[in-house]
Amino acid sequence: MNKNAHHKKEGIDLGSNMIFGEPTDYFSEFTYFMILEDIDWDAQFYFYYRITDDHYIQIAYGLDDKRHSICAQYQKTNQDLKINLKEMLIKYMKDNRFYGGYLYFVESNLFTECEFTSIIESIKNELEALKGQARILKTPFIDFLEKTNFNPKPTGNNKHSWTIGCPNADGKHFLMISTLNDEWGCGYCKRKGDLEDFKNWLQELDRKKLTQFVKEINTDNDLSDKMKKWWFNRY
């Protein structure tokens, strides 16, 4: 059987998009190495690895050891397997923290609990260091967001990455800011631009709210709680 990687790409697949292939047919080629737990959801994830003939390492996992999908694929380096897997886990868990936070150690035949904890600690330390650098590299855009009570926070993704609650969603989803060129974007609202564009968008949103405000006053003689909150925050 041809044990080459389905895709030559290296990276992390968080959404089970199957970019690295559907492992069901050849799952017997994978070797178990770890169980991690999501405490909030009381869910256990079983982790496996496989080395392909074309020298890729793949990590697959399955909730309750079922329906496994490949979540990471990288070319094997000259270092030993454990170091390779450790590097891949760091990348995976760094990306995954946005979705499920950090997973907890249950058991492993490759890593001790102490080694696993130090992996998580090293991720947290790196994120804090990047957040610190982001605060040092603050720009006029971030100053503006602080002055206007958007409460911007560095994400730790890189030293230029910040986030705020999107003004078009009462903070229910997030908008990203990069201080590299002082640009922002909301994937959800499909809007992006520079500081001027952001200010214009705020005015546009304010006008929309104002129209709604006037409409509510005229029709109901009574304002909704949401509208009252907006009105009082406006001044």
Contact positions toward Zn ion, by CB under 5 A?
166, 168, 186, 188-189
Q: Cα(55)–Cα(45) distance, rounded to whole angstroms?
A: 25
Considering only CA atoms, which of 164, 131, 134 is closest in space to residue 149?
A: 164
Closer to Zn ion at the Cβ: 89 or 175? 175
Q: How far is the CB of 46 from Zn ion (least distance, A)?
A: 36
Q: How far is the CB of 160 from Zn ion (least distance, A)?
A: 20
Closer to Zn ion at the Cβ: 23 or 167? 167
Q: How far is the CB of 168 from Zn ion (least distance, A)?
A: 5
Closer to Zn ion at the Cβ: 27 or 188? 188
Q: How far is the CB of 202 from Zn ion (least distance, A)?
A: 12
Q: How far is the CB of 235 from Zn ion (least distance, A)?
A: 24
Q: Cα(111)–Cα(155) distance, rounded to whole angstroms?
A: 28
Residue written as tokens 């200010």? 199
Q: Cα(9)–Cα(180) distance, rounded to whole angstroms?
A: 27
Contact 82, 110 (CB under 8 A): yes
| Radius of gyration (C-alpha) of the chain in whole angstroms | 23
Residue written as tokens 């997030």? 174
Closer to Zn ion at the Cβ: 56 or 198? 198
96, two tokens:
């995954």
What SS3 class is residue 152? Answer: coil
String of DSSP letters for 61-115: EEETT-S-EEEEEEE--SS-HHHHHHHHHHHHHHHHHHHH-PPEEEEESSS-HHH
Q: How far is the CB of 230 from Zn ion (least distance, A)?
A: 16
What SS3 class is residue 166? Answer: coil
Closer to Zn ion at the Cβ: 11 or 165? 165
